[in-house]
Chains A and B, each alone.
Chain A
């Protein structure tokens, strides 16, 4: 479980090495009986569907402004969730905002999952000095709290979506690499790999056949626990003005631009944050459920 503003690879030790076929089937079986995880999963599914079908679901354009209907409160006829400082329909902007907000929240973790796993697996598999060298470089990034690292990179690179995606990817590579390395090191010493080695299988074959399957599962679960942090950080960067740019609908940015209206229409201004919170907590609960479902005791 990763908490909001830090990224700890604490999960590594407890993650099981998954050897058996049908394992994932039994994980799913357990997960299905976890009501909290299932509800969280369904809410997330609904939000993802909302993002995909935004243009059909949204009652209005997220961009069309109207000076006559500015800063309407929640429950105004025609604007169920009110309007923002430019008279745009907040409901429509929230629905459309799901696209970018989910993207910039999930993408860094996905990127970091691939890059970090690769680094970790290579380090863990090769071992020795190479491992030490790679992990020491990774360690340097641990000298920065995640928020600071993200803000420092995004701030130095200048505002923009690509820069904020890049910064967050860099933030998540080290923890994922660490977990991947630690799991790989464990898997490597497992008997059947020694056996495969003894039978003369090449390194690549071993990595491909045995290591990947056994490592990526646990790393994946760990990565899912980072999505919640990533959502908060990505929207946070937009909130600071370092991510998405106006007039793009994005939840963090909406929070930022509506802040001036906090004295006029306070409860509308907090809605985008509620979305971030919902997505973030659902990812956390789902990831918790996944972890305990995988935790064969």
Chain B
């Protein structure tokens, strides 16, 4: 079987297992899923009525079966807290998260490539050591804390940028305008430090490796133009850096919960956070499922692209 087919088919069992995991989550949880549905003063017959309406009275395997069947059709059930469609909630939040994470990735990727290349070119220099230090720092920093620092400096002390929300209108109104962009700046910078550190490290390593290559050394020895060397470097660095970035985007999407909480950014992370504290189990389930599947797919794409670019993987 070809590598590609195998890799694609492999997604199916993983997705099913992920589904099972998400479904079980709800039943790991101690609270009654009805807590979020009916208010504290609802009489018991109302509680039972709603229980039937949500299907919480059915046996577990049946609930799982129904859940999978509906999930396949894009129906993730109803939010226990507000009765709205979970799929709608998750996808509208996902749009915001994508906006944030793509912005963060772009910043992180650009800076990472820049720093990494500089450090790689002048390996061992003071600049290199600075960049390496920065990279270690950026992967060691609790980014939610960095977010707070930025808020203190730019919102509290200077009052230049807003510290919460996605903009003056709702997310459906988002436009490429200053009124909205200014809300994006702080959270995107906060989130960008992680990919920045990683890309820096990767690019630095690859650049150093390429420059140490005999062919390049020969070129350089001949004093041939820097441009050719640089192009050679870029050609070698780009696939790796892009692959790192692709995976990193997935991690950011799954991992933006802390930053979204700090900035009240209306994305999947905030949705998840609210769902946890409202014990809105269908939303919890649905959000995690969508994020995990998104991540699995992103991994698939990155793997396939890499295999396309590097034939060794296919054979291995």
Contacts and interface: CB of A to CB of B under 8 A. Distances in A.
Asked if A and B touch directly (CB within 8 angstroms), the answer is yes
Interface of A: 1, 3-6, 136-137, 139-140, 142-148, 151-153, 155-158, 228, 232, 235-236, 239-242, 255, 259, 262-263, 266-267, 269-270, 273-274, 276-277, 280-281, 283-285, 288
A262 B263 CA distance: 13
B272 interface: yes
B145 A276 contact: yes
B251 A5 contact: yes
A143 B25 contact: no
Interface string B192-222: 0010011001000000000000000000000
Contacts of B148: 255, 259, 262, 269-270, 273
A3 B17 contact: no
B276 A284 contact: no
Interface stretch (B181-189, B287-295, B307-315): B287-295
Given A151-B257, A232-B140, A232-B142, 16 more contacts: A1-B139, A4-B140, A5-B143, A5-B255, A143-B293, A144-B292, A145-B251, A147-B255, A147-B258, A153-B25, A155-B275, A157-B29, A236-B142, A240-B261, A262-B148, A277-B141
Main secondary structure of the interface of A (DSSP, over half): helix
Contacts of A285: 136
Given A4-B197, A143-B14, A270-B152, A241 B277 contact: yes
Given A3-B197, A156-B25, A235 B18 contact: no
Interface in B255-288: 255, 257-258, 261, 272-273, 275-277, 281, 284, 288
B86 to A, nearest CB: 15
A146 B252 CA distance: 10
A266 B156 contact: yes
B296 interface: yes
B141 A147 contact: no
B283 to A, nearest CB: 11
Contacts, number: 158
A137 B21 CA distance: 11
Contacts of A148: 254-255, 257, 288, 291-292, 295
Interface string B224-247: 000000000000000000000001
Given A140-B14, A158-B30, A239-B258, A152 B25 contact: yes
Contact of A151 (B140, B272, B292): B272
B78 interface: no
Contacts of A255: 144-145, 148
Contacts of A266: 152, 156-157
**Which of A148, A158, A242 is most buried by chain B, counting CB atoms within 10 A of its CB?**
A148
B149 to A, nearest CB: 6
A280 B28 contact: no
A290 to B, nearest CB: 14
A280 B140 CA distance: 5
Given A148-B291, A277-B141, A242 B257 contact: no
B254 to A, nearest CB: 3
B291 A281 contact: no
Contacts of A277: 140-142, 145
Given A240-B261, A266-B156, A270-B148, A158 B273 contact: no
Given A139-B14, A156-B25, A277-B145, A145 B136 contact: no
Contact of A240 (B29, B194, B273): B273
A155 B284 contact: yes
Interface string B21-38: 110011011110000000
Contacts of B281: 156
B145 A273 contact: yes
B81 interface: no
Contacts of B93: none
Contacts of B291: 144-145, 148
Contacts of A232: 140, 142-143
Contacts of A288: 136
A267 B152 CA distance: 8
B74 interface: no
Contacts of A3: 139, 194, 197-198
A242 to B, nearest CB: 7
Given A140-B14, A145-B250, A157-B30, A4 B25 contact: no
B25 A284 contact: no
Nearest to B24: A156
A255 B251 CA distance: 24
Given A155-B272, A156-B28, A281-B136, A4 B288 contact: no
A-B residue pairs, 9 tightest by C-beta = A145-B254, A273-B145, A155-B276, A147-B255, A148-B254, A281-B140, A3-B139, A156-B25, A140-B17
Nearest to B254: A145
B295 A151 contact: no
